[in-house]
Amino acid sequence: MEILLVCDAMIGLEGGVRPAICLANELVRKGGGVSILAPIMSSEVENRLRATGITPINLRVKLFARKLGSPMLWFELWGREAFFRLNSKRVFGYPHIKINFSHTLAVPSEFLYLQGPTSAALRDGETEFSGVYKFAYKFLKPIIDYADENLAKEVSKRATYIIANSKFCASIYERWGIRVKDVVYPPVDRKIFRPCSNPSSDYVLTYFGRETKFSIIKAVADLGISIKAFGAKPSFTPKSLIKHPQVEFLGRVSTNELVNLYSNALYTLFPFTHEPFGYIPVESMCCGTPTLTYDAQGPSETIVNGYNGWLVTSDDEIVRKALSLWKDGYDQRIRINCLKEAKKFDEEVYLRKWLKLLAQEYV
C-alpha cells in the first residue's frame, strides 16, 4: 500500500521535515511504498528522496520570498494558506494522506503531527525583531493571531488522530480547544551524533537562527568567552555580533562538522525566543556536551537541571551561569549523564512509537 506523507517547504532535509524523513525511510526499509508531498521542494531534496526510494510530490508553489531566506519563504507559505487556503487547493487527485506534518497545508489526514504554530513563534520572537520587522509585526499581530488559530483548528478538524512534538507544543494547541492525543518527540540519530574521545572544551557552541536571542550571545561574548556559532545568518542578526572578536561564525556546516563542533565544545549555549522541542540541546546531549538554556518550553522537557545541563529562569542568570561555567568548569560526570538521557530521543524510540500507532486503526 502506498503511504502519503505531507510536509512544509523542503529546501533541505533538516529541521521540521526530519521527523517525516526518518519515518519515511523506515517505511521504505520495511518494503512499503512512500510518497512525500510538499508545497515546494529543492531539486536536491527531490533527488535525495528518489535515491532512498521515496517518491517526491512537489506542488511547485510560486513564492515571491524564495530568494529572501527560509524565514520569509516559510511565512509567505503560511500566509497563503492561513488567509486564502491557496496551498491546499493544489492538493487534488492524490491518494489518502496518512500523516500531515505540515502547518501550511489544511488537508484531510489520518494523523496530524503538530510542531508549533506560527503566531506563537512570532510573539515570543518579537523582542529580537528590529526596524521594519518590529513595526510590521506590531501592526499585523492581531490579524496573524486570528488567522493562525483558525488555520490550526481547520487542519486539526481534518485529522483523526492528533500528535504533538512536545508537551509544551501540545499545551499551545490545547488552549485553542484542539485535543492532542499523544506526544512523540522528534528523532535524533545517535549513530551519527556521537561524542569524541578527548574533547578540547576550549569554546562555547551556539546557534544562529530565527529563534535565537542574539542579545544574550553578545552579552556572553562581551565577557570574553570564546564562542563558535553555526547556522544560517538571519537578515536581522546584529552585524556587531557577526564581527565580534570573541565570535567565530561558521555559517551552515555539514553534519560531520556539526558533530565535531558539538563534541568538542565545553558546553552549548542555547538562548532561544521560542522552541516547541529544541533539536540543539538533544543533538548536543548525544555528543556528550551539556546545554545551558532556559527552564521553559521544549528544552525544559529534555534537560534535567544540574544532571545533563543547566536550566535558568532569566536573561541575567543565563549570562552569569555562562561565565561561571567558562571560568570554573563542571563535574565531568554530566557528560556521561548526557549520553544516558540522549537514549530517550533516539530514532529507534521515535520509530517504535510511530509504527505502533500506524499498526492500529483510527479511521
Q: Which of 80-84, 111-115, 229-233, 293-297 has the lowest mean pLDDT?
A: 229-233
The CA distance from 224 to 221, in Å, is 5
Which of 323, 293, 322 has the alpha carbon at shortest distance from 309? 293
2-187+347-359 with 204-345: one CATH topology? yes
Q: Does domain 204-345 have CATH number 3.40.50.2000?
A: yes
Residue 189's alpha-carbon distances to 2, 39, 342, 345, 347, in angstroms, are 26, 27, 10, 9, 5
pTM across the whole model = 0.95
Q: Where are the beta strands (DSSP E) in 28-156?
A: 33-38, 54-58, 97-100, 109-114
Query: Is 80 exceeded by the pLDDT of residue 70?
Result: no
The answer to whether residues 3 and 93 touch, using CB atoms and an 8 Å cutoff, is no
List the grid coordinates of 27.
Answer: 517505511
Residue 321: CB atoms within 10 A of its CB come to 17
pLDDT mean over 264-276? 98
Taking only the tens place, the pLDDT of each residue in 207-265 is 999 899 999 999 999 999 999 999 976 667 888 899 999 999 999 999 999 999 999 99
DSSP string, 78-94: HHHHHHH-TTGGG--SP
Q: Can you give the residue ranges of every domain in the chain? A: 2-187+347-359, 204-345
pLDDT mean over 33-37? 96
- List the 33-38 sheet strands across, edge first: 54-58, 33-38, 2-6, 97-100, 109-114, 159-164, 182-183
Query: Is 60 exceeded by the pLDDT of residue 363?
Result: no
Question: 305 has which bridge partners?
Answer: 309
Q: Which of 125-129, 162-166, 268-272, 306-310 has the lowest mean pLDDT?
A: 125-129
Phi, psi for 56 (deg, rounded to 5): -85, 140
The answer to whether residues 341 and 304 touch, using CB atoms and an 8 Å cutoff, is yes
User: Where is 131: in which H helix or E strand?
Assistant: helix 131-157
Q: Which CATH class for the 2-187+347-359 domain?
A: alpha beta
The CA distance from 81 to 340, in Å, is 41
